[in-house]
Amino acid sequence: MKTETEQAPTSFSYEPLRFKRVEVMASGILYRGVFIGADENDLYIKGDMRWLILPLERVSSLRLEGERRTFRVRDQKTNETPYPTDEAD
């Protein structure tokens, strides 16, 4: 039986952010809107005036609107998978 320290880390999920207002940093631009979902290539946001489809390769962070905690979607230098962080952007 595996101990708590030996268990595999839980996988990242966008599900807690679905249908909530978010802030997305992509290509140095801050986008705001309602997070609809994501697939292997793109992030889908419903903005105030239009839909936004942001390529994941350009998205550097995602967070609930007004919160400091950021979900780094992709580390630009190492291209690693998502991980939560408490850094403010």
Which architecture, in CATH terms, is 15-85?
Roll (2.30)
Mean pLDDT for 67-76 is 66
E strand residue ranges, the chain: 21-26, 29-38, 42-46, 51-55, 59-64, 70-72, 83-85
Q: Flag whether pLDDT at 47 surpasses 90.
A: yes
Question: How does residue 10 score in pLDDT terms, banded at 50, 70 and 90?
Answer: low
Q: What pTM was estimated for this model as a whole?
A: 0.66
Could you tell me the pLDDT band of residue 25, with boundaries at 50, 70 and 90?
A: very high
The mean pLDDT of the chain is 79
Give the separation between CA 36 and CA 65, rounded to whole angstroms: 14
Among residues 41, 31, 40, 38, the alpha carbon closest in space to that of 63 is found at 31
Judging by beta carbons within 10 Å of its beta carbon (0-12, 13-18, 19+), is residue 56 exposed, middle or buried? middle
